[in-house]
Each structure stands twice: as structure tokens, then as C-alpha cells.
């Protein structure tokens, strides 16, 4: 029985979005390192990482974005159609680093992403940086499993329905696209359409269209539900609507949602995609959001768990088991009274 | 090109849950009429309906549940494994009548359901009773399209993990299963598990596991999101939790959710399935909820719409277009300020 | 300058509700001990307490409700117009014990209440039982300060507007009066009136009228705001309303709120007052809720705090400073991200 | 018995905030007209108004803010300590016009405000412009009653605790002071203090401190409760907090709330007062909010109601009866199912 399989990076072969499957490793030939900050711990981690790769996987090429502070001995990688082929993305930093990695892959399929925290927990961070050797080994042995995290593809149209900017390329987001009045004192008016049908006119601070991954980010703060990342769905969450009866809506991934600034809107709307400010939309301008063809294959924590550990407590091996942990630890989901039982009166 | 196709009622041939597809009519041989009330308008509607069927579809057999007030000239139908085959269900009444119809089909696939309101709008009521001739014709011509509404299958286990009651048959719900303290003054304690993994301990009035269809019923009142019925998902919504940080959760339809009454729960929990009180669960007892194999094929309003009408405003023909209407009309979704513009000051 | 003052127990001299003022001690002649449970720790605590009182305040009479398990050497106390005069109430137990103490004083003013927890924190529990000697001393020295916690007075009327039960006496609640469908499967319909004016017709599981004290109890679970107990106000919070646009309302203490079961309500409504089930209201029957003339003077934690401690961090001595602590510790108010900063990734 | 009384405009004589009392008219000698827009209907209304005053109250002086488009034959009025004495403020426009009028009275007491809508209902607009003659007559006859709407006074301090700008004068707001990240992509960190005690650290889009009047404005959109304007209270409502357990808080009017931008906040916070952008607060800078000594006496709709009308349905004459109407009409409070009963199925 052959244990090694090839890492799939070709979108045509991709499984249905959000399925959970093993990565087919074997020929990981190009690795892209992504980091935002160049703090001492990050620099040190990259050094150790590079040394480890040189020693153990000497034939692998290591790339990095083109920046002034690029680490030594790595090749420059430029995104786009003609980009060098990457078989594995390594991120070092917080949740925002993965969002940034996602933004580098606007065209075509995304290689599997292995995300390391610098110590502090994050929602999208399955691995501690000190475990990188173990995690890499698991990938090279083809044992890693991935969760395909849905992305949204965003198209901007001007008043006359013509494509705006970006050379016709769609934008891809992993968390959400958010429209917000920003520093305008006035509410904006946005018409929301679902599959071309008028849904509602929102007078509010703004609207969010989120992925299940993004449901624990801005959408949550705005009052949205928590949606499991293995579900394919779009979440529409209003931000401070001037209405008592606005509720978050959850749509199937097959839906397309269009948000158009009302002709009589008093304010324009700033657009943020995964927290990056991009456009400002004026009256009549719009964005259309759909499930992207190119989800992000995120390598799971269970990939490096011991079999005993992974199978304990009824969790199927390879199953996305990090989510329940994150809901409880990071969001302190439903925390109140479990902890209360432990609180005892200290004497004065 | 043969226009007539057979109505599918065999689950093995069923499309993936929630897909939208044409009913394959042709040989509609058995119709089940479902009503809850026997008010004058309902009696009259049934009379007209029966007369119409006798005249236009003389070979069709018409059935009704076994009740004292059964209409004349219809055959008695008894649910179960050996039940007479039904090719079409007709409901006359409110949303509750469809829930009742659903409860009659606990085993195997459910025939397409054609639901008529007695005049007042309801969420699950695409047709006005006065349109029954047109709607029936559409079905017999194989033009009707259905929305497969997901159901949940519920299994009850006692303290020792043994099946409780119901002869091993699962219960099927269309809206939700709700656990509630009922008239007990005390909160209950429920442990929630997802795919066998402990999710949280809820101290609350109760918990709801809802379908997307049920997301506009009790779950909505308890603060849940509105989920489009063509999505496959489970919604977990708490009822008055003793916690600031409990939020509704949305899971993929592949998840199984178990709710077990805590050993130290001060109150037991009454179980309601689609509003019907069934069990009382004591400490240690539990219910496990999964997507049912047998969704309800609900015939769409667009089935009888004129082509022009159906295609207008960008809605694909046969698409579930009733939902946006219902969200806006029935729930007065985001109603406030659209209407406000129209409100003018009346002089004193 | 005389340091000792008399404990005020005469309502005519009472300060405006919710003002914070020192108790005027001096002649505490009658103490009522209130406990719900007779667990070992409670029995032991009562024993120590009695012994302490006998030794240090030999002229004080100690009373207890008439129950089988009444402690030895205490006099029986029966509530009512002719009840023995009580100058101080001691509660031993959880929040529910104070609610019970409140329920004993339906007529006239309520004596100051000194509440001891058995170790576990509660919202209404300023003192640890081990501190009773210090707390008593503070009261007898006239140093104790109280927070007047507002109560609600409830009057029940039948269909014809005639007083129901209770011999014309009003009910007094400290947390809330809650109407709920209980174990009825159907929603009830309740008309809410404010100062005689029709406010809204609620179709829901029920309605809560809460004090600021009760705003952290059931009302909070139902989605209500947290109201500081030194404010005089009534909070109206719906329980699972069939409406997207129902919001909690806060009224001045001068308002009277009437809840009447609608004539066409499908369900009656069970009434709970501070968690005690009392009436069932049928169609046409109602309850009217007003601020009670008799708030509960609750002795503050700051009464026994060292001056330095009490004055630290800008809190005026005698100020209700427990509330911020309780909001943060007990409710884990806004807990998420402060704690998150501390969460570090544990290596696999 | 003298029917005419003097309009109180001297703060030292003012009733406790929020009491409802008759205006003491008699010598209304100076009227200030406030409008924001100069649309045709507004210009026409001002013309009619001026003509009416000239004819009926020839000794009254009419003022207007100093603007280019000031109406003819009115005197210029400049706010400040030495401002001409105003006995009555007339506003013509929407809710924002009253907010603007409020902003003109930063120092000392505010004269009674008579607010006219141009036809469209608003929350703060008791009168239709066509009724101005009747309303004026009521005021001159001393029959008008007012609702004292609480205002907040805001003091800004820099990092070192020194007063910022505004020449030491406090700002006065009628709705709210809102801190918001504005167009910064990053959340800000704000420490909230109550009476000098640290309450919580908020990581969010921002925070709102609102009056009861403002509880139906921005605070409502952010999820706050609806607070009756005759209550004296401060409402603290978070805007999109990164926490599951943040809830709106309601404080007594005696509280002071300080919001200080955290030293490590990634974003500064823009300050809006009643929708007017004013300051930007950086790390360490703060605003302290207290009940203002100078509420706004708003003349009630019931001032011109016929006695029969006013007394009908149990409402005490002069009582703030507009609020229930506004809650229901403007906010469509709890609208859903009352209307649903009326919705009937239209036939296809
Ligand atoms: N009021 C709010 O909650 C706001 C939230 N955001 C979120 O910040 C994101 C950008 O993140 P950064 O670049 O790191 O900005 P950032 O450094 O300002 O961090 C935002 C916070 O969100 C967390 N986060 C990011 N993605 C998450 C996810 N999928 N689930 C749970 N937590 C998540 C991060 O760990 C961080 O604590 C945006 O995509 C947006 O979702 C942005 C603006 C306002
Ligand atoms: N507080 C609440 O909101 C409660 C709601 N219910 C709901 O009532 C349902 C039972 O309905 P009935 O037998 O008709 O009882 P019912 O006659 O008491 O009606 C409940 C209301 O819910 C509506 N409804 C039912 N299913 C719906 C759906 N899927 N979407 C939107 N509205 C829907 C009905 O039209 C009716 O207005 C339960 O399945 C439960 O969802 C039950 C108890 C409490
Ligand atoms: N879903 C819910 O949240 C429900 C809450 N309750 C509350 O329980 C109260 C009765 O309490 P118990 O007799 O002790 O019953 P219980 O023993 O069932 O306790 C209810 C819980 O509420 C807490 N509690 C009571 N008063 C509180 C307050 N003012 N602020 C914060 N927490 C408070 C208690 O400490 C306890 O944790 C009722 O007045 C009602 O407010 C009752 C039923 C349902
Ligand atoms: N997302 C939101 O809801 C936002 C609300 N605002 C509110 O707008 C106010 C400024 O108002 P305008 O200058 O007219 O700006 P605007 O012309 O942008 O109108 C804001 C809306 O709020 C309404 N409004 C104002 N005060 C109200 C009150 N006390 N109760 C109910 N509705 C009220 C107005 O009628 C108008 O519909 C601010 O004080 C703030 O409360 C400001 C920004 C965002």
C-alpha cells in the first residue's frame, strides 16, 4: 500500500468545497513563507525553519514575498498568473497573516496552508511554532488532513454596470467583505439583492457578507451567528441597522448577493475585504459576492495528533476538532456559569 | 419529447436533499388530504376539491386520516410501513397542517406536498385554496417544481444508552425539536455534544435544534438567524440561557447533535417536536438529532406562475422565490424605515 | 456627637427608594434568621451565629420562620400585620434565600437585610459567612450602609376587574414577575398597557416585568439590559416573542404596567414571582405592576471594608461598589478578549 | 385667578429634570427660529409663521442664527453667555433640527422648544407645521406642558488629564456621545470607568453613551434597550464589540462615565455628539459624561390636544403620550404578527 500521495494543487481535481481530506504530499517542491511582522521571534522562527528545511528537505525551494526585509537565502515570489508554483504555504503570525496569505492567491487554486502561531492562540492557528518540524513531517508523509475553508469572490460594478478596477480579476476574501459608512456621520442606504431579487433596503452603518470562517470575526461582533467552517454558506449581517427587525441571514453557497449603494444614500460606503480597506462605493455602485471556486485548504491540528489522542472522546481522526476548542477557549462561548461554580467568596 | 414524468416517491431515487427539481407526475394515483380543523371553509374547500378530482381525474383514489369527522367518499389511510401508497399530499389550513402532514410520514420517503392556505398567509403556504384546480393541473402535467425541505430525525436514549419508546422508529421533524423546562420553576442543565464531542453545558430554559425551515419558527423567537430553506444545516439556538455569551450555532447537515440532561439538572426537560409535546427527559436521558434521509418535497408557488411572471425580476423559473416575499411580508423583515418614509403627520 | 443611631424600620421615615444611606443601628432588638436549606454548613453557621449573638448581644431576641427544622433556642416568627418587630434580617444561603426573605415582608417596611453566602458568590450576597462577626459589629455600631433595592408590587384582577385572591394584599417581588406559557404548546397573547395606555399585543412565550435588581436574573437571560440597582425603573422584557421587532423597554418607577391575557389567547399564562409559581392567568385576567412603597434595604459589602480599601480607586465610601465586581466576576461581562491575551498555545 | 404665567427659563428655578410641568408663558418676548434646510416648504412655513407672529404677537422679537440665508425681518442671534434672551425656540424640520437647536444652548438653561415637522413623522416632532397657530396660542396662554429631556454634558481630557479645547465649556448632547473607529480598519480599545471605578476594557468599533431620548437613535441600532424619556438614566451601548458577553448597561443619572482610549489601542476614536463629528481621541485621551444641569424642555403634543382627546383612554392630561405612538408608528415596535393577521393570500 503506497503511503505517499501527491499534494493536490490543481483546482480541476479539487474536492467539493469544505470536504475534509488528506493532503497528498510526495512532491512538495515549493514552499512559500508568509509573515507580516518581522519581530525578533518571527525572524528567529524563520531562521530555524529554513535551516530545518535545508537539512531535511534539501530539494525544496523556499519563497517569500518581495519585501525589503525578506529573509536571506529565499527566492522572491510574485503573485499572479505566471507565479512560481507553490505546493505549501507556511504562515507565521496571527490570524491576519493567514488572511494576508489568502489575499496573495487571487487566481486559481490555493496550495495547502500550514499556520503557526507565535504562541498566542488564534482562530485560524492550529499549530504552535515550536511544533513546525513535526507538522512538516506530517505533510511530507502525506498524513496531513485539510479543511477547505470557503472564500468569497467579489466583483465591483460601477453605476452603469461596468466592471470596476482590478483588471477584471475578482477579489477573494476568506473572512468577509464589509461595507461601512466609515467616518461619514450619515447612515448609508444599501439595496441588497439575492440571486437578482430585491431582498431589502438597508439603512445602517453598513452590511457584512461573511463566510463561515468569517462568522467568528466581524460578523460575530455585529450580532451574527457562529457558523461551522465546514458548512458552505454566505452570512449577511447588518451593522447597526436603523430598524428593529433586521436579523442575520444565512444563504446557501450557490447564492449570489449584490449590495448596491442606494441612489439617494446620504453616505458612500467604504469597502473592507478581510480588514483591508479597498474601494469606496458611491450611489449606484455595487459589489456582487459569490462563493469562490478556490477555497483555502487549511491543514488541521489533528494532522499531527497522536492516533490515541485524535480518536479519544469520539472524534473521528482527521475531523475538524479544533473548532469546538476555539469556540470555548477563544470566544469563551457560554462561559458564565461553568466558571461561576468555581468562584468562591474571598473573605474581606 | 415526453412531457410527462412519474412523480418520484421512492427515496432511493431521491435527489440530494434540498435540490430543487420538477416533480415527475404522470401517474398520481393516490392523494392524501390533510386538514386539522373542520371549520366551514375547510369543509367547503374539501367538497369542491373532491368534486373536482372525481370529474377531472376519475381514476385517482383519495385518502384521509382515520378520524370521526372524515369527509364522505374518501378512503381511510393509516400511516406506517404497510400504508397505502400516496403520490401527492394536499394540506388545507395553516403552517401547522403541513407540520402535521410531515408527522404522518415517519418511515420512508415523503410524497410531494401541495399546501393551500384558507386565505391567510403562512410561511409554508404557497397556494391560495381558490387556486387548487390550477395547481393540481400543474402537478398532473408534471410541471410542478419542489423544494426539498430538510427534516431532522430524532433518537431518544435513556440513562443507560438504550433506545426509548417509539419501537425503535425515529421521530421526524420539519421545524425543530425543542427542550424546555416547561412549568418547572427551575432552569435545566443540558450537555450539548457535536459529533460526540462535548460542546457546552447549557443552563437555560431550554435548547432548540432547528432545520432551516424551522429557523423562522421558534428558533427565530429565541434569537436565531434566518436560514434559507434550500441550505442543509442544523441550527442550535438556546432559550433564555443563564449566560451572556451563548450564541446561535449553525452546523453542516452531516453533524449529529446530542442533548443530554445533566445528571445534576434541577429540572427535567419537556420535548416538543414541531410544537407537539412528546417526551419528558430526566437527568441522564438524551436525544440525538441528525438530518433525516427523508426531506419533504414541497411544491413551489412558481409551479403555477405564468412564465413571464416567474422569470421577471431575474428569478430563475422554478427557483424558490416565495422566501423573499415571506421574509418581507410575514416577518416584516427590516420593515421600519421603508414604511416610515410614508408616514406623514396627521394634523391634530 | 452621638455615633449610634437607630435602625430605621418605619416606612414613613424612609428615604426615597434606592438612596444609599447608613443604617441607624443602636437598638437592634429582634433578628430574623432566614435560610432555605438545612445542610450541614448552614446548620453549623446558624449555631455559631446564635452562640455569637448570645455572648455579644445578650438582649437581642432571635427569630426564625415556623418550620419543622427550626434551630433550637430561637423564637418562632410569623409574618403578617401583627408580626413581631424585626430590626435586622440575616440570610444564609444563595440569592434565592434573599428572595425568600423578601417574600416574608409583604406588608409595611422591610428591615435591613444582611446576606451571607455559604462560600459561593451570588449577585445578592455581599458577605462571606465567616465574616459574620465583623458584619454584625458594623451593624450594631451603626456603621452599616444600605442600598435600597426597589421592589414591585403586583395586583391581580379577574376578567371583571375584581381583585383576585391574596385577601387584597399586594404581592411584592424583588427580581421580577414573569408570565409564561409553561407547558402549554401554544404561544400566549398578552396585551401590555403602560399607565392605562395600550402599548402592544405580545404573542410570545411570555413577558417579564423586572426591577433593576432582577435585570441580572431572568430578564438578562431573555435578552434584557443590565440596569444598575440604584436606579428606580421597571424593565419590560419579552420571552421568545413571535416578532422581529420586540425590544426590552425601560420605564420610570412612576409607571404602572398592566399585562392582560388576550381574550383570544390560545394559552393561559403561568405567573412566577421571584421564581415562585403562584397564579395561572386565563383570558381576560391581568396583573398590574408598580414600584412598591417598600424596597429592601440591603446592607453593603463596603459596610465592613477597611476605610483605605473602600476609598481606593475613587470609590466613595459606602457607595455600591459590589456591582461592578459582580458584573465582571459573576456574569463574566465582556470577558472574551481580556482573557484571550493570556491564552497561549500549548504544544501538542 | 391669573391665567398667564411666566415661561421659566432660569435654571435655578428649574424643576427636577424630566418632571412634566406646564410652561409658564405670559411674557414670551423673544422667539428663536431654528431650521437646517432652506427648502421651499421650510421657507414658506417660516414666512407664514413670521406673518402670524407679527399680526398676533406684535411685541415679540424674532431671532435666527447668523447665516447667509437668514429669513428677512428677523434679528440675528448669536449663542453664548451674552446671547439675547430667548423665551421660546421654534424648530422646523426633522429630528436633526432639534438636535441642532440643542447644540446652540451650551451654557445655562434652555428655553422651551416647540418642534414642527414638515409633514413626515419624527421621534422628536410632536407638531405638524400646519398646526403652528394653535400650538403658539397654547404656549402664549400658558397651557403648554413640557417634557424635560435630559442632556449629557461631556468633558474632554488629554493624556495628562488637562481639559481639551472648547474653552473649558462642556459640550451638551441630547441623543448621545459616540466613539467610533471611523475609517480606521482596526478596532479600538477603550477603558470604561463608572464613578471612577474601572468597569471594563472594550475592544470594539466603539461605544455609545446615550440619554433616554437617544435610546431610540444610534444606541437602538447598536442593540440598546428603549428607555422612556421621562426616566433619568445613562445608557452605555457597545458598537460591534469583539466579545460575546457585552450587554447594554443602564446607569442612574447621578453616575459619571469616563471613556478613555487604551494606551495600546491600535486605532484612535472619532467622537460624534448628536451626529456631529467633533474630536478625535488618541491613546490616553478621554471623555467624561454626566447628566447635564440643563435639560431641554420639549413642548408636548398634548398641549394642544382637546381635553376630551387628552383624557381619553386613561392618559392623564399633559402626560407624555406621544411616546407610545412613536414606538409603535415610527419604530414599528413589535409589528409582526398584528399585521400578519391582516395579510391575506392574493390569488395568483
Ligand atoms: N468590530 C469588529 O469586530 C471588527 C472586526 N474586524 C475583523 O478583523 C479582521 C482582520 O483581522 P486582522 O487583520 O488580524 O486585524 P486586527 O489585527 O485588527 O484583528 C482583528 C481580530 O480579529 C481576529 N480574527 C481575524 N479573523 C478571525 C476569524 N476568522 N475568527 C475569529 N477571529 C478572527 C484576530 O485574531 C484579531 O483578534 C477582518 O477580517 C474583520 O473580520 C475588523 C474591523 C472591526
Ligand atoms: N415562542 C415561540 O415562538 C413558539 C413557537 N412555536 C412554534 O410553533 C410551531 C408549531 O406551529 P403550530 O402547530 O402552527 O402552532 P401554533 O398554532 O401555536 O402556531 C405557531 C406560529 O408559528 C408559525 N409557524 C409555524 N411554522 C413556521 C415556520 N416554519 N416558519 C414561520 N412560521 C411558522 C405559524 O404560522 C403560527 O403563526 C412549532 O414548530 C414552533 O416552531 C411553538 C412554541 C413557542
Ligand atoms: N432562564 C432563566 O434565566 C430563568 C431564571 N430564573 C430566575 O431565578 C430566580 C429565582 O432564583 P432561585 O430561587 O435562586 O432559583 P434557582 O435556584 O433556579 O436559581 C436561579 C439562578 O439565578 C440567580 N439569581 C437570582 N437572582 C439573581 C439576581 N437578582 N441577579 C443575578 N442572578 C440572580 C441565582 O443565583 C441562580 O444562579 C427568579 O427570580 C428568576 O429571575 C427563573 C427561571 C428561568
Ligand atoms: N447607525 C445608526 O443608527 C446611526 C445613527 N445616528 C444617529 O443620528 C443622529 C443624528 O441625527 P440627524 O442629524 O438627523 O442625522 P441623520 O439625518 O443621519 O438621521 C438619523 C436618523 O435618526 C433619527 N433620529 C434622530 N434622533 C432620534 C431620536 N432621538 N429617536 C429616534 N430617532 C432619531 C432621525 O429622524 C433620522 O431618521 C445621531 O444623534 C445618532 O443618534 C448617527 C450615525 C449612525
Along the 348 residues of chain A, how does pLDDT read in single tens digits?
333 222 333 333 334 444 445 555 558 999 999 999 889 999 999 999 999 999 999 999 999 999 998 998 899 999 988 999 999 999 999 999 999 999 999 988 999 999 999 988 888 998 999 999 999 999 999 889 999 999 999 999 999 999 997 666 789 999 999 999 998 989 999 999 999 999 999 999 999 999 999 999 999 999 999 999 999 999 999 999 999 999 999 999 999 999 999 998 988 999 999 999 999 999 999 999 999 999 999 998 877 765 544 443 343 433 446 899 888 888 889 875 444 445 667 665
* CB nearest C345 (choices: A128, A247, A339): A128
Residues from chain B that touch D117, judged by Cβ atoms under 8 A, are: 345
Q: How far apart are CA B187 and CA C218, in angstroms?
A: 10
CB-based contact (8 Å) between A197 and chain B? yes
For residue C11, pLDDT beyond 70: no
pLDDT recorded at residue D16: 43
Q: At what angle do helices D40-56 and D132-140 cross, to 10 degrees?
A: 40
Q: Which of B202, D215, D225 has the alpha carbon at shortest distance from C208? A: D225
B248 touches chain C (CB under 8 A): no
Q: Are C245 and A247 within 8 A, CB to CB? A: no
DSSP state of B267: S
Measure the CA–CA gap between A113 and B312, rounded to whole angstroms. Answer: 44
Chain D residues with CB-CB distance to C335 below 8 A:
243, 245
Q: Does C1 touch chain A (CB under 8 A)?
A: no
Q: Say if strands C171-173 and C233-239 run parallel, antiparallel, or are unpaired.
A: unpaired
- Average pLDDT of chain C, as a whole number: 86
Q: For residue C22, is pLDDT > 70?
A: no
Q: pLDDT tens digits for D206-232?
A: 999 999 999 999 999 999 999 999 999
Query: Do B324 and A203 make contact, defined as CB atoms within 8 angstroms?
Result: no
Please name the helix (run of DSSP H) or strand (run of DSSP E) that holds residue D179, with its range, or none.
strand D176-180
B66: phi then psi, degrees, rounded to nearest 5:
-80, 100
B8 pLDDT above the threshold of 60: no
User: Does any ligand 2 atom lie closer than 6 A to the CB of residue B206?
Assistant: no
- For residue A275, the CA-to-ligand 1 centroid distance in Å is 7
Nearest CA to ligand 2 atom 12: B96
Predicted pLDDT of residue B347: 64
Give the range among B189-193, C322-326, D15-19 with minimum mean pLDDT: D15-19
Are D324 and C247 inside 8 Å of each other by CB? no
pLDDT tier for residue C25 given thresholds of 50, 70 and 90? low
Closest listed residue to residue B45, CA positions, set B132, B120, B103, B107: B132
- The mean of the pLDDT values for chain D is 86
In this predicted structure, what is the pLDDT of residue B297?
96
Query: Can you give the pLDDT at residue A336?
Result: 56
CA–CA dist D313, D327 (Å, integer): 17
Atom 10 of ligand 2: nearest residue by CA position: B275
DSSP string, C210-233: E-TGGGGTHHHHTTPPEE-TTS-E
**CB-based contacts of D279, cutoff 8 Å, min separation 6:** D156, D164, D165, D270, D271, D287
What percentage of chain B's residues is helix, strand, coil (to nearest 5)? 20, 30, 45
The string of pLDDT tens digits covering residues D264-306 is 898 899 999 999 999 999 999 999 999 999 999 999 888 776 5
Nearest Cβ partner for D241 among A204, A221, A242: A221
Q: Does C126 touch chain A (CB under 8 A)?
A: no
DSSP-based three-state secondary structure for D210: strand
Winning range, highest mean pLDDT, from B63-72, C254-263, D136-145: C254-263
Q: What is the mean pLDDT of chain B?
A: 86
The span from the CA of B19 to the CA of B297, in Å, is: 10
Is residue C319 a contact partner of residue C211, using CB atoms and an 8 Å limit?
A: no
Q: Tell me the count of A-B CB pairs closer than 8 A.
A: 146
**Count, residues in chain B:** 348
Nearest Cβ partner of D348 from B304, B330, B331? Answer: B304
Q: Do the chains contact at D239 and A240, CB–CB below 8 Å?
A: yes
Mind telling me how many Å the CA of D230 is from chain C's nearest CA?
Answer: 7
pLDDT mean over C197-215: 97
* pLDDT recorded at residue D339: 45
C-alpha dihedral (D78, D79, D80, D85), degrees to nearest 10 = 90
Average pLDDT over residues D5-27: 43
Average pLDDT over residues B220-227: 98
> Of ligand 3's atoms, which has the minimum distance to the CA of residue C99?
13
* Mutation test residue for ligand 3: of B186, B238, B241, the one with most atoms within 8 Å of CB: B186
Interface membership of D270 toward A (CB under 8 Å): yes
- Ligand 3 center–CA C272 separation, angstroms: 11
Q: Helix, strand, coil proportions of chain D in percent (round to 5)?
A: 20, 30, 45
pLDDT for C170 beyond 70: yes
Task: Quote the ligand 1 centre to A218 CA distance (angstroms).
Answer: 6
D244 in Cβ contact with A222 (< 8 Å): no
Looking at residue C168, its pLDDT comes to 65
The pLDDT score that the predictor gives to residue B27 is 80
What is the pLDDT confidence band of residue D321, given thresholds at 50, 70 and 90? low
DSSP D85-144: P-SEEEEESSHHHHHHHHHH--SS----EEEEESSB--TT--EEGGGHHHHHHHHHTT--
Contacts of B45 (CB under 8 A, 6+ apart): B92, B116, B118, B129, B132
Q: Which residue has the higher pLDDT, C81 or C251?
A: C251
What is the structure's pLDDT at A335? 75
Q: Which of A140-144, C156-160, C306-310, D70-74 has the highest mean pLDDT?
A: C156-160
Longest dimension (CA), chain D: 71
Ligand 2 within 6 A of CB of B115 = no
Q: Which residue has the cell 421545524?
A: B175
Q: Which architecture, in CATH terms, is D152-291? A: Sandwich (2.60)
Task: Give the C-alpha separation, B169 to B155, whole Å.
Answer: 8
Q: Under a CB-based contact definition with an 8 Å cutoff, are residues D301 and D186 in contact?
A: no
Query: Is A11-149 a domain of CATH 3.40.50.10330?
Result: yes
Helix ranges (H only) for B205-271 are: 218-221
Say yes or no to pLDDT of B73 above 60: yes
Residue for grid cell 458577553: D245
Distance B217 CA to ligand 2 centre (A): 5
Q: Is A216 exposed, middle or buried (0-12, 13-18, 19+ CB in 10 A)?
A: buried
Other C-beta atoms lying within 10 Å of the C-beta of residue C165 = 11
* Nearest ligand, CA C209: 3
Report the alpha-carbon angle A216-A220-A225, nearest 5: 90
Q: Which ligand is nearest to the CA of C239?
A: 2
More confident residue, D169 or D9: D169
Question: Which pLDDT belongs to residue C343?
Answer: 66
At A72 the pLDDT is 87
Predicted confidence band at D18 (pLDDT cuts at 50, 70, 90)? very low
Q: Across residues B147-159, what is the average pLDDT?
A: 96
Percent of chain B residues topping a pLDDT of 90:
68
Q: With a cut of 50, say whether residue C7 has pLDDT above it.
A: no
Residue D280 β-bridge partners = D270
The per-residue DSSP string of B130-198 comes to: GGHHHHHHHHHTT--EEEEE--EEEEEE-TTSPBPSGGGPPEEESSEEEEE-TT-SS-EEEEEEETTEE
CA–CA separation, D196 vs C315, rounded Å?
Answer: 7
- What's the CA-to-centroid distance between B203 and ligand 1, angstroms? 30
All three cell numbers of C319, joined, read 457607595
Longest CA–CA span in chain C (Å) reads 71
Helix (H) or strand (E) holding A279: strand A276-281
B172 has a pLDDT exceeding 80: yes
* Among D148, D113, D141, residue whose Cα is nearest residue D127: D113
pLDDT of residue B21: 53
Q: What is the mean pLDDT of residues C23-49?
A: 88
pLDDT digits (tens, 9 = 90+) for B254-313: 999 999 999 999 889 999 999 999 999 999 999 999 999 999 999 988 777 655 444 434
| Cα angle: C213, vertex C217, C222; to 5 degrees | 125
Which one, of A289, A283, A73, A270, lies nearest residue A193 by Cα? A289
Please tell me if residue B146 touches chain C, with a CB cutoff of 8 Å.
no
Closest in B182, B244, B270 to C331, CB measured? B244
The more confident residue out of B26 and A334 is: A334
Task: Kindly tell me the burial class for residue B96, based on how many C-beta atoms sit within 10 Å of its own C-beta (0-12, 13-18, 19 or more).
Answer: middle
Ligand 2 center to D195 CA (angstroms): 46
> d(Cα D222, Cα C248) in Å, to the nearest integer?
13
State yes or no: is D167 an active-site residue. Answer: no
Query: Cβ of C240 under 8 Å from any chain B Cβ?
Result: yes
Is the CB–ligand 2 distance for residue B275 below 6 Å?
A: yes
- Chain C positions touching B239 (Cβ under 8 A) are 205, 240
D249 to C316: CB separation less than 8 angstroms, yes or no: no
CB spacing of D315 vs C251 below 8 angstroms: no
Backbone angles phi, psi at B218, to 5 degrees: -60, -40
Distance CA A170, CA A290 (A): 10
Q: A329 CB under 6 A from ligand 1?
A: no
The pLDDT value recorded for residue D320 is 44
For residue D314, name the pLDDT band (cuts at 50, 70, 90).
Answer: very low
pLDDT at B342: 54
Most confident of B303-312, B336-345, C59-68: C59-68
User: Hey, which residues 2-21 in chain A have their CB within 8 Å of chain B?
Assistant: 18
- Counting from 1 in the atom list of ligand 3, the atom nearest the Cα of A340 is 37
Q: Which residues does chain A have within 8 Å of residue D281's beta carbon, measured at their own beta carbons?
A: none
By the 8 A CB rule, do D258 and D236 touch?
no
Q: Which of the residues B95, B170, B274, B321 is marked catalytic?
A: B95
Delimit the domains of chain A by residue range.
Answer: 11-149, 152-291
Task: Reduce the DSSP state of residue D52 to 3 states and report it.
Answer: helix
Nearest CA to ligand 2 atom 24: B217
Lowest mean pLDDT among A162-171, D54-63, D189-198, D240-249: A162-171
Cα-based distances in Å from B307 to B7, B134, B317? 22, 14, 7
Lining residues, ligand 3, CB within 6 Å: B 186-187, 204-205, 240, 242; C 94-96, 99, 122-124, 175-176, 213-214, 216-218, 221, 274-275
Cell of D82: 451674552
D129-167 pLDDT tens trace: 999 999 999 999 988 999 999 999 999 999 999 999 766
User: How far does D340 lie from chain B, in Å, by closest CA?
Assistant: 6
Query: Contact at 8 Å (CB) between A207 and A243?
Result: no
**Spatial separation of the C-alpha atoms in residues C244 and D334, rounded to whole Å:** 7
Question: And the C-alpha cell for C180?
Answer: 409564561
Beta bridge partners of D297: D148
The answer, yes or no, to whether any atom of ligand 1 lies below 6 A from the CB of A176, is yes
CB C281, CB C269: distance < 8 Å: yes
pLDDT > 60? residue D5 = no
Does C124 have pLDDT greater than 80? yes
CA–centroid distance, residue C275 to ligand 3 (Å): 7
Query: What pLDDT does A168 receive?
Result: 64
C142/C27 Cα distance (integer angstroms): 10
- In angstroms, what separates the C-alpha of C322 from chain B's closest C-alpha? 19
pLDDT of D119 reads 86
- Cβ-based neighbour number of residue A38 at 10 Å: 13
Closest by CA position to C17, among listed C288, C254, C300, C317: C254
Amino acid at each position: 500500500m503506497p503511503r505517499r500521495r501527491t499534494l493536490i494543487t490543481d483546482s480541476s481535481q479539487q474536492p467539493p468545497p469544505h470536504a475534509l481530506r488528506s493532503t497528498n504530499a510526495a512532491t512538495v517542491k515549493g514552499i512559500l513563507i508568509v509573515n507580516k511582522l518581522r519581530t525578533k521571534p518571527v525572524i528567529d522562527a524563520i531562521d530555524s525553519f529554513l535551516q530545518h528545511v535545508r537539512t531535511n528537505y534539501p530539494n525544496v525551494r523556499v519563497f517569500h514575498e518581495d519585501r525589503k526585509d525578506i529573509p536571506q537565502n529565499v527566492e522572491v515570489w510574485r503573485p499572479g498568473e505566471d507565479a512560481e508554483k507553490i505546493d505549501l504555504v507556511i504562515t507565521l503570525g496571527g490570524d491576519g497573516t493567514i488572511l494576508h496569505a489568502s489575499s496573495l492567491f487571487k487566481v486559481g487554486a490555493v496550495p495547502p496552508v500550514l499556520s503557526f502561531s507565535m504562541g498566542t492562540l488564534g482562530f485560524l492557528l492550529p499549530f504552535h511554532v515550536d511544533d513546525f518540524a513535526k507538522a512538516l513531517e506530517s505533510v511530507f508523509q502525506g498524513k496531513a488532513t485539510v479543511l477547505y475553508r470557503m472564500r468569497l469572490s467579489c466583483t465591483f460594478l460601477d453605476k452603469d454596470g461596468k466592471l470596476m478596477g482590478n483588471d477584471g480579476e475578482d477579489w477573494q476574501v476568506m473572512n468577509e467583505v464589509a461595507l461601512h459608512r466609515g467616518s461619514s456621520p450619515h447612515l448609508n442606504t444599501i439595496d441588497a439583492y439575492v440571486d437578482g431579487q430585491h431582498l431589502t433596503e438597508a439603512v445602517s452603518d453598513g452590511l457584512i457578507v461573511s463566510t463561515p470562517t468569517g462568522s467568528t470575526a466581524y460578523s460575530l461582533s455585529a450580532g451574527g451567528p457562529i457558523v461551522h467552517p465546514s458548512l458552505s454558506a454566505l452570512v449577511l449581517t447588518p451593522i447597526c441597522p436603523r430598524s428593529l427587525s433586521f436579523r442575520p441571514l444565512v444563504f446557501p453557497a450557490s447564492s449570489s448577493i449584490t449590495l448596491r449603494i442606494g441612489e439617494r444614500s446620504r453616505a458612500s460606503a467604504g469597502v473592507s475585504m478581510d480588514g483591508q480597506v479597498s474601494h469606496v462605493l458611491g450611489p449606484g455602485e455595487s459589489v456582487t459576492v459569490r462563493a469562490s471556486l478556490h477555497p483555502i485548504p487549511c491543514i488541521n491540528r489533528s494532522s499531527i495528533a497522536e492516533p490515541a489522542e485524535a480518536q479519544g472522546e469520539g472524534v473521528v481522526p482527521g475531523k475538524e476538532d479544533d473548532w469546538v476548542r476555539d469556540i470555548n477557549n477563544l470566544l469563551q462561548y457560554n462561559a458564565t456559569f461553568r466558571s461561576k461554580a468555581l468562584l468562591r467568596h474571598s473573605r474581606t
